[in-house]
Amino acid sequence: MADIDPKTGRSNEFLLEAEDALNALGTNLVRLGRCVKAGVIDHTILNSVFRSAHTIKGMAGVFESDTLATLTHSLEDALDTLRLGRALLTEDVMDSLFSAYEVMQRMIEERRKEPGPEALDPERTFLTEIANIKRSLSITLSPHAKGATQADGAGAKKELSGDILGVLTEYELYRLKENLRHGKKVFIVNTRFSLEDLERGYANFTELLKSRSEVIATLPSTKTSPQVFSFDILIASDKGKAELLDIVKRCGYEFSIRQISENNGLEKKHEDRQGRPPLQVIRDADQTVKPRKESLRRSSSSIRVEIAKIESVMNSISDLGVLKTGISDLSARLRNEPGLSFYGIEISRIERHLERKLSELRDSVLDVRMVPVGELFGRYETFLSRLARQSGKEISIVVSGGSTEIDKHIIEELADPLMHIIRNAVDHAIEPPHARESMGKPRAGRITLSAHQTGNHAVIEIRDDGAGIDEDLVSRKAVEKGMVSPDNIKKLSRHDVLELLFAPGFTTRDTVSETSGRGVGMDVVKENITRLGGIIDLATEKGRGTRVVLTIPVTLAIIRAMIVEDGGERYALPLSSAIEIIELRSDSAEDIKQHGVIAYNERDVPCVRLKEFFKGPAGEEEGSMLYGIMVGVAEHRLCIVVKRLVEELDIVIKPLSRTIKAQGIAGAADMGEKGAMLVVDAAGMLEGVNNRLA
Amino acid sequence: MNSGDAKGHLRWKELALNSIAPSVGDYDGAGASDAKDALTVVCFSIGAEEFAIPVSDAVEVIKPRPLVPVPNMPDYIRGILCHRGEMLTVVDFRRRLGLSHPDHDADARILIVSCWDIKAGSFVEKMGGVREVPKASVRDAGKGAEGRFAGFVKGVLESEGKEIYLLDTYSMVEPHAAYEQ
């Protein structure tokens, strides 16, 4: 761990980049798939798919992976054929493209694993799959009527000087012809940027052009000097020149537009010198005679950081917090010391300042770990469109609240549970298109992923408008599988029946399908969410759909905990698992003692006295007021009863040694001078209580 | 895992300088303790008995601090202790060995040991020192020791006329089957 082989370090970096490229490819493929369905192919998307494939091909070289190189190579070939209009992009082709994408994804995943002696094998296993994809690509790519475009555009060719035509790539030439064939007007826009402004200016400028026209090619102009870069941008648009001028003027860059058309051989030149004059900059540059420096600087200002590094910063911060407590104790002692109280007050002032700075530091480090949940949602778009194709259902996905930020670690832990929930929705909930139509629902099922933050928690909601969960079917299956006896099943409430879904191995399917029916799924969801200290809520209405709500803490690194006291001992109880804290007056406390349950939100929630859970039944005690802390673990609830609430603190949980396995204890927190404090594990307590009841 | 050994030696040198434990052995020689013919051990006493563990298992010695008891543990687990950012389980060697000696903790120390993948604190009554003994002088645990400290004693060595039981550190601090479910 400590010694990082520079080679592996580098290849890790490439892996990350490859993943990014692959993600981009995936998103664009989905968009392309939508285009194909709609019957209008957006060539800019097609072109970006081609570019991503090309990038990945380049990375294959870095990985020294021949299989990946072969695959990306044939993918690139196929895409090139497509974008040059030599073949039609049909749904079949899309399928082949998607499967190529999936294989690539798996290959990258393989690469991520520890290289071992078996490292060569996955390469070989992929070979047959690649051969299949190559075959299907060559079959599905039926040659398109060529030549039709040949005759057109001859006029424009005359207008463009020989050198321009010479530098256009085959693809650019094809787009030029296509645009002319569709009666679009072709312009050459000349613009320049100073070196300082090159990257941003060019991006802004082309972005503006793209909104009103198609950018066919960008050609460096002969007027380029070391300080000023001049470009000729070849665009096609159905707008007139005046209109284009109007739009482009807004950006404030110097430019000129020249129209090229069959009818008009005259070159109209229109100079526009509005806005910020770049000339001034140029003159400055001339005076200082700055030689153009070669630079390998990248313009991106973000970096990738290993999560472990952030974790170690986090640990140092918590150590600092412990030291700070020492200072505050010292200042308290000094304040009581005659003659030294002045210093005590002074130290405590500094200490308060330190505390503020520390919490700022902690917040900003926590912030670094946060990533928008939209990044996670995006992964399901590809996944869903594939799932929909496989199941023959029509599904649209709606995403909202993607900017909600969650700890990177939690995002990764959520990936699998979300996948299972979505898979369940597609397999069990969404009806086939014809069935939906006959019920008066839209043909395409809709899956909504949304997220928002409430306090320290993020709420993620997965909603479908499918069939809902058939509770009778669930009960019947549970009896069939012998999970519940026929007598008991009648006693179960609606809520309890839904809880059966989370039992390991439970499935309502009789046959195992490609995507589900193996009975693994909801128990994985439960396990992962529970580990995160999250809560699952399930609501369903027959015929209307199902809603799964996951409430999870935004971060795990530092936990807000309630320090409670019971039976003379202090414990920290993570507030992430607490739903509500309730006061228990003597009469309700007595009631709990007798029945062991408390009514909460129309449910009977089991209650447990914290000290009794850890130390066994204890005698009566003085005092009447108790507190109940309602905790939720997945779909379960438990009320933990304590004598006293002490304070709320931020703590860092440290695991106990392997030599200790105590049920109901998640670990311990370092409280500095005060030693350690046990942290209550709500999930473990719940399990313990359930075991005792059973 | 192996780096623990090196650290162990280092800390023992610190220990000698701080003179928390009375010095007996040659500390500088401790680094070379793994030589084929010699065995360096750390000694401590419980009641009238003397015990030792290999110096390579020892990390450092600290004064007792308040421990946090953990519920539902066997009585020889005294609790946990946060030391240098780690949560250590503290095992009471006296209770672990079944020695019913009255608790008087004035000289007691917590000896931190690291063995295989376990790092733990061990509550010992009185620290001895570090001694180097010829390996050949370690004899197999006799019947008497077997009976009294079954499973914990690796061998018996004699030093200055006293019998010292060489303990198997791992079995002293390992997770016990009784509560490992």
pLDDT in tens, A483-494: 777 777 777 777
Are the beta carbons of A406 and A344 closer than 8 angstroms?
no
Residues 6+ apart with CB under 8 A from B98: B148, B149
The Cα A365–Cα A34 span in angstroms is 40
B contacts of A659 (beta carbons < 8 Å): 77, 89, 91, 118, 120, 173-175
The Cα A564–Cα A272 span in angstroms is 73
Q: Please check the confidence at residue A36 and state whether its pLDDT lies above 80.
A: no
Q: Please check the confidence at residue A605 and state whether its pLDDT lies above 50.
A: yes
* pLDDT (0 to 100) of residue A415: 86
Best mutation target, B2, B65, B70, to test chain A (most A CBs within 10 A) = B70
> Residue A657: which of B71, B85, B118 has the nearest Cβ?
B118
Cβ-Cβ pairs closer than 8 A, A with B, add up to 75
The packing angle between helices A120-140 and A66-83, to 10°, is 20
B contacts of A658 (beta carbons < 8 Å): 117-118, 175
> Residue B87: which of A661, A662, A668 has the nearest Cβ?
A668
The Cα A256–Cα A543 span in angstroms is 61
Q: Please check the confidence at residue A54 and state whether its pLDDT lies above 50.
A: yes
**Closest residue in chain A to residue B86, using alpha carbons only:** A654
pLDDT digits (tens, 9 = 90+) for A266-292: 333 333 334 333 333 333 333 444 445
Tally of residues, chain A:
694
**CA-based nearest distance B175→chain A, Å:** 4
* pLDDT (0 to 100) of residue B181: 34
pLDDT digits (tens, 9 = 90+) for B67-77: 888 888 888 88
Q: Do A665 and B71 touch (CB under 8 A)?
A: yes
A contacts of B86 (beta carbons < 8 Å): 654
User: Between residues 66 and 105 of chain B, which touch chain A (CB distance below 8 Å)?
Assistant: 66-73, 77, 80-82, 85-89, 91
Q: How far is CA A244 from CA A183, A212, A238, A473, in A?
A: 17, 8, 10, 63
The Cα A524–Cα A530 span in angstroms is 10
Which of A90-94, B114-118, B147-151 is predicted with the least confidence, judged by mean pLDDT? B147-151
Best mutation target, A610, A651, A659, A692, to test chain B (most B CBs within 10 A) = A659
A contacts of B72 (beta carbons < 8 Å): 614, 662-663
- The confidence band for B42, taking pLDDT boundaries of 50, 70 and 90, is very high
- The confidence band for B145, taking pLDDT boundaries of 50, 70 and 90, is low
ipTM: 0.71
Q: Do A615 and B67 touch (CB under 8 A)?
A: no
How do A578-584 and A626-633 pair as beta strands? antiparallel
Structure tokens at A427: 């397999």
- The confidence band for A564, taking pLDDT boundaries of 50, 70 and 90, is very high
Q: Do B71 and A615 touch (CB under 8 A)?
A: yes
Choose the most confident range, by mean pLDDT, from A211-215, A337-341, A650-654: A337-341
Are the beta carbons of A451 and A458 closer than 8 angstroms?
yes
Name the residue among B32, B27, B6 with its Cα closest to residue B17: B27
- In B73-104, which positions are buried (b, 16+ CB within 10 angstroms) versus exposed (e)? beebbbbbbbbeeebbbbbbbbbbbebeeeee
Question: Mean per-residue pLDDT for B2-31?
Answer: 38
H/E element holding A579?
strand A578-584
* pLDDT (0 to 100) of residue A242: 77
Residues 6+ apart with CB under 8 A from A44: A210, A214
Amino acid at A600: Y
* pLDDT (0 to 100) of residue A71: 79
* pLDDT (0 to 100) of residue A450: 92
Question: Mean per-residue pLDDT for A456-473?
Answer: 84
B contacts of A657 (beta carbons < 8 Å): 80, 87-89, 118-120
Residues 6+ apart with CB under 8 A from A227: A194, A195, A282, A285, A286, A290, A292
Q: Do B73 and A667 touch (CB under 8 A)?
A: no
Question: Mean per-residue pLDDT for A430-441?
Answer: 86
**Closest residue in chain B to residue A615, using alpha carbons only:** B71
> Residue B73: which of A319, A662, A667 has the nearest Cβ?
A662
* pLDDT (0 to 100) of residue A114: 56
Q: Do B82 and A657 touch (CB under 8 A)?
A: no
DSSP, res B68: B
Q: How far is CA A34 from CA A136, A211, A370, A394, A432, in A?
A: 21, 20, 31, 12, 19
Are the beta carbons of A92 and A58 closer than 8 angstroms?
no
Q: Do B80 and A615 touch (CB under 8 A)?
A: no
Q: Please check the confidence at residue A3 and state whether its pLDDT lies above 50.
A: no
Which of A168-172, A290-294, A531-535 is predicted with the least confidence, judged by mean pLDDT? A290-294
A contacts of B81 (beta carbons < 8 Å): 675-676
pLDDT digits (tens, 9 = 90+) for A642-682: 888 888 887 777 777 766 777 888 888 877 667 788 988 88
* pLDDT (0 to 100) of residue B108: 82
> Residue B175: which of A659, A670, A676 has the nearest Cβ?
A659
Q: Please check the confidence at residue B21 and state whether its pLDDT lies above 60.
A: no
Amino acid at A146: K
pTM over the 0.95 mark:
no
First to last CA, chain B: 26
More confident of the two residues B181 and A385:
A385
- The confidence band for A571, taking pLDDT boundaries of 50, 70 and 90, is very high
Q: Please check the confidence at residue A61 and state whether its pLDDT lies above 80.
A: no
> Residue A670: which of B73, B82, B173 has the nearest Cβ?
B82
User: Between residues 114 and 133 of chain B, which touch chain A (CB distance below 8 Å)?
Assistant: 117-120
Strand partners, A502: none
Q: Do B82 and A668 touch (CB under 8 A)?
A: yes
* Average pLDDT of chain B to the nearest whole number: 72
Are the beta carbons of A214 and A175 closer than 8 angstroms?
yes
* pLDDT (0 to 100) of residue A274: 41
**CA-based nearest distance A207→chain B, Å:** 53
* pLDDT (0 to 100) of residue A202: 77
Q: Please check the confidence at residue B12 and state whether its pLDDT lies above 80.
A: no
Q: Do B117 and A658 touch (CB under 8 A)?
A: yes
The packing angle between helices A374-391 and A91-112, to 10°, is 130
Q: Please check the confidence at residue A121 and state whether its pLDDT lies above 70.
A: no
Which of A234-248, A417-431, A613-627 is predicted with the least confidence, judged by mean pLDDT? A613-627
At residue A231, the 3 state secondary structure works out as strand
**CA-based nearest distance B61→chain A, Å:** 17
**How many CA atoms within 13 Å lie on the side-chain side of B1?**
4
Q: Do B87 and A614 touch (CB under 8 A)?
A: no
